[in-house]
Structure 1
Amino acid sequence: MRINMFKKNRMFIIVLLTIFISILTSNISYGNSAEPPSILIIVPNAPNDLEITIGSGDTSAKARETNKLIETHYTFYSHEIRMASDYTLRISTGELKYEIPLEKPIKSYNNIYTLDLDGQTLTPGKLLSRSISLVTMRVILTLLIEGALFWQFGFKNKQSWIAFLMINLVTQGALNIWINGFPPMQSYILFSLIFAEIIIISAEIFAFLMFIKEHSRSVKVSYVIAANVLSLIVGGYIITILPI
Structure 2
Amino acid sequence: MNQARLIRVRGIFPYILFILLAMLVTTLTGLTSDVSFANSAEPPALIIVVPGATDDLTVYIEGTSGLLEGRKVHYFTETQFMFYKNEIPSTDTHKITFKSKDQQFELSIEEGMNRYRSVYTIDTYRQTIIKGTTTGREAILVGARVGLTLIIEGAIFWLFWFRKRRSWLMFLLINLFTQGILNLWLGLQPMAQTYLILGLVFAEVFVLISELILFNLLIKEHTVARRNIYVALANFASLVLGGYLIAWLPI
Matched, 1:36 2:44: yes
TM-score normalised to structure 2 length: 0.79
Q: What is the aligned partner in structure 1 of residue 140 from structure 2?
A: 133
Aligned amino acid, residue 166 of structure 1: L
* Length, aligned pairs only: 212
Secondary structure of the 1:94 match is: coil
Matched, 1:221 2:228: yes
Matched, 1:99 2:139: no
1:66 shift after superposition: 0.7
1:95 shift after superposition: 2.3
Work out whether residues 59 and 83 of structure 1, in 8 Å CA contact, stay in contact via their aligned partners in 2: no
Alpha-carbon distance change, 138 to 44 in structure 1, aligned in 2, over 3 angstroms: same
Aligned amino acid, residue 44 of structure 1: P
1:88 shift after superposition: 1.2
Secondary structure of the 1:187 match is: helix
Q: What is the aligned partner in structure 1 of residue 124 from structure 2?
A: 117
Q: What is the aligned partner in structure 2 of residue 51 from structure 1?
A: 58
Work out whether residues 114 and 123 of structure 1, in 8 Å CA contact, stay in contact via their aligned partners in 2: yes
Q: What is the aligned partner in structure 1 of residue 70 from structure 2?
A: 63
Aligned amino acid, residue 216 of structure 1: T
Secondary structure of the 2:178 match is: helix
1:184 shift after superposition: 7.5
Task: Determine the C-alpha separation between the residues in 1 that align with 2:66 and 2:242.
Answer: 41
5+ unaligned residues in a row in structure 1: which ranges? 1-29
Could you give the per-residue CA deviations for residues 31-53 of structure 1, whole angstroms, max 9, x where no partner exists? 8421131x110111110000111
2:80 to 49, 59, 73: 73
Alpha-carbon distance change, 71 to 185 in structure 1, aligned in 2, over 3 angstroms: farther
Could you give the per-residue CA deviations for residues 155-192 of structure 1, whole angstroms, max 9, x where no partner exists? 00111001100111101111111111124843211121
Q: What is the aligned partner in structure 1 of residue 161 from structure 2?
A: 154
Work out whether residues 78 and 109 of structure 1, in 8 Å CA contact, stay in contact via their aligned partners in 2: no
Secondary structure of the 1:156 match is: coil
1:108 shift after superposition: 7.4
Q: What is the aligned partner in structure 2 of residue 197 from structure 1?
A: 204
1:106 shift after superposition: 3.9
TM-score normalised to structure 1 length: 0.81
Could you give the per-residue CA deviations for residues 102-123 of structure 1, whole angstroms, max 9, x where no partner exists? 2155447422100001110010
Aligned amino acid, residue 49 of structure 2: I
RMSD: 2.2
Could you give the per-residue CA deviations for residues 192-242 of structure 1, whole angstroms, max 9, x where no partner exists? 111111111111111111111111110000000000001111111121011
Work out whether residues 62 and 95 of structure 2, in 8 Å CA contact, stay in contact via their aligned partners in 1: yes
